[in-house]
């Protein structure tokens, strides 16, 4: 197994790009090193509580080192920056000896001081011609000038903890002929978990939609506020937000698919801006494409030995442009039409018979969420509806058929529980459903333990959905229950539909609990008489 040493400091520009959180910076290198099968032999890193561009000798600082027996990176010393420099100079000789004795195969340098604090380690690396990778324009230039065997050098601008670590390990892996797949996410402690290594495996439509939900709720809030007399000027803000939704979707998609921190976000935003004409489907396609391209271009540029700053610029900028332009010129009309078809299908069903459409949607919504279909299929349709109008027919069914029914079931178990302990379980679920418009799963324990409550939930949702059709309501969940009617197209109609779901499920659950309690009493009496 190849062994490396990490030296350097939190730096000047590096401080603003990850250096102020040394644990995270060093842990990312550890994670990627583990994936490449590279062992960390030592760490000599000084982290100041401020940029080295303005820090002085009295600035507070800490020295991070490597202790395998302690589980990795530890704080070895704290004090002023001057004291930390003196401490590192006293340990520099030991690290240099490891390099001289051939116990170290590579060196990572980040904003190091090759003529002072880290002089002995750098001198040993130069003498043994140990491969060096690193960032920090000034320090790497000084190291190169000493005749070092530099594999990869770059400034710090535009880099992130992850992109630096991946570029370091890619260079080492190519030099030593190692198999290396970058680890995305936190891994499993040692950095050897590469199951999420393929960007294709990280394409998750449901995850992208769920993460984008706050943007759609913001749209609904602006729509509601624009209806208040005197705030009609917000209708212009509503139009801007509708155009921004594809950008939100694209940025999240690129981040989730690539997970290369800020680089993937930039790529996603660029792709999203160019995908606006394709609606949220176009934004998603552009974002996914940008995320995939970020990984490809990043790795390719590293293999071509581009400076890390340039690698980030190409990976973030060019990936976003390519994916965005493909959507802009080729896919936007198709993506927009796909969204329109969904909207037309929903509107067609509602136009044919709004009561029947609401009833069917209400009856199916509990089986859908229990079976895992809701977040995969129904939620994306809700968001597609909201993209056009700011609220949704299925969104209204969600609120009245799931949230309100769950609230009714939990409320019933607060009023008349089968067992006193169930009231304690039910109370938080009721409060969250009413206060935040989510956590319908709070009703599961009561539904799954009593068939009548389960059937009552489905029936109540069907009745509430039918009421949505009666009043032709459009709305949304995921907001406080008192606010939900304000975000709908029919406040009184939405209140009536919400009340129907809550009251029906409340009454049915109260009856079910009473029957269950009587059965329990009868069984207890039977056992006593026996």
- For 434-456, letters b (16+ CB in 10 Å) and e give beebbbbebbbbbbeebeebbeb
What's residue 529's pLDDT?
A: 62
Is residue 211 helix, strand or coil?
helix
What's residue 169's pLDDT?
A: 92
105 Cβ contact partners less than 8 Å away, ≥ 6 residues apart? 2, 3, 4, 130, 131, 176
Domain boundaries along the sequence of the chain = 2-197, 201-338, 353-529
Q: How far apart are CA 306 and CA 266, in angstroms?
A: 20
Q: How far apart are CA 112 and CA 134, in angstroms?
A: 9
- Residues in the chain with pLDDT < 50? 187-196
Residue 477 per-residue DSSP state: S
What's residue 512's pLDDT?
A: 93
Pick the CATH number of 2-197 from 1.10.1060.10, 3.40.50.10090, 3.20.20.70, 1.10.1040.10: 3.40.50.10090
What's residue 346's pLDDT?
A: 73
What's residue 185's pLDDT?
A: 58
93 Cβ contact partners less than 8 Å away, ≥ 6 residues apart? 120
Nearest CA to 90 among 113, 120, 61, 114? 120
Is the Cβ–Cβ distance between 484 and 476 less than 8 Å?
yes
What are the residue ranges of helices labelled H in 353-389? 354-370, 373, 379-389
What's residue 436's pLDDT?
A: 86
Average pLDDT value for the chain:
86
What's residue 146's pLDDT?
A: 92
Does the reported pTM lie above 0.75?
A: no
């Amino acid at each position: 197994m190849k062994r490396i040493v990490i030296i350097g400091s939190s730096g000047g520009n590096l401080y603003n790009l990850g250096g102020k959180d040394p644990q995270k910076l060093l842990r990312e290198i550890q994670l990627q090193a583990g994936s490449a099968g590279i062992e960390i032999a030592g760490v000599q890193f000084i982290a100041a509580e401020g940029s080295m561009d303005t820090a002085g000798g009295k600035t507070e600082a800490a020295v991070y080192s490597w202790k395998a027996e302690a589980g990795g990176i530890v704080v070895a010393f704290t004090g002023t920056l001057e004291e930390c420099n003196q401490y590192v100079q006293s340990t520099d000789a030991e690290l240099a000896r490891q390099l001289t004795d051939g116990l170290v195969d590579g060196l990572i340098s980040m904003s190091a001081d090759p003529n002072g604090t880290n002089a002995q380690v750098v001198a040993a690396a130069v003498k043994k011609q140990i491969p060096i990778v690193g960032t920090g324009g000034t320090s790497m230039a000084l190291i190169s000038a000493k005749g070092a065997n530099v594999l990869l050098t770059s400034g710090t601008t535009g880099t992130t903890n992850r992109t630096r670590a991946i570029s370091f390990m890619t260079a080492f892996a190519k030099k030593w002929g190692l198999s290396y797949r970058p680890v995305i996410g936190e891994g499993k402690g040692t950095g050897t978990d590469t199951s999420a290594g393929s960007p294709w495996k990280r394409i998750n439509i449901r995850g992208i939609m769920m993460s984008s939900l706050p943007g759609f709720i913001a749209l609904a809030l602006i729509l509601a506020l624009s209806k208040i007399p005197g705030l009609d000027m917000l209708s212009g803000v509503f139009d801007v937000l509708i155009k921004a939704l594809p950008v939100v979707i694209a940025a999240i998609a690129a981040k989730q698919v690539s997970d290369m921190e800020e680089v993937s976000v930039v790529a996603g935003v660029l792709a999203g801006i160019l995908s606006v004409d394709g609606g949220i489907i176009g934004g998603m396609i552009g974002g996914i494409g940008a995320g995939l391209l970020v990984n490809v271009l990043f790795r390719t540029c590293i293999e071509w030995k581009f400076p890390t700053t340039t690698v980030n610029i190409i990976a973030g900028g060019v990936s976003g442009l390519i994916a965005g332009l493909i959507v802009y010129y080729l896919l936007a009309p198709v993506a927009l039409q796909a969204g329109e078809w969904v909207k037309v299908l929903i509107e067609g069903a509602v136009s044919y018979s709004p009561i029947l459409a609401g009833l069917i949607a209400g009856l199916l919504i509990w089986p859908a969420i229990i079976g895992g279909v809701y977040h995969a299929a129904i939620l994306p349709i809700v968001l597609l509806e909201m993209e056009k109008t700011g609220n949704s027919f299925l969104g209204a069914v969600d609120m009245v058929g799931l949230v309100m029914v769950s609230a009714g079931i939990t409320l019933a178990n607060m009023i008349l529980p089968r067992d006193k302990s169930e009231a304690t379980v039910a109370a938080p679920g009721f409060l969250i459903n009413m206060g935040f418009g989510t956590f319908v799963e709070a009703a599961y324990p009561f539904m799954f333990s009593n068939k009548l409550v389960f059937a009552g939930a489905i029936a109540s949702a069907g009745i509430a959905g039918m009421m949505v059709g009666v009043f032709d309501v459009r709305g949304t969940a995921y907001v406080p229950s008192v606010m939900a009617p304000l975000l709908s197209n029919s406040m009184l109609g939405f209140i009536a539909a919400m009340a129907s779901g809550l009251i029906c499920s409340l009454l049915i659950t109260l009856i079910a609990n009473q029957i269950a309690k009587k059965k329990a009493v009868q069984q207890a009496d039977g056992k006593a008489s026996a």
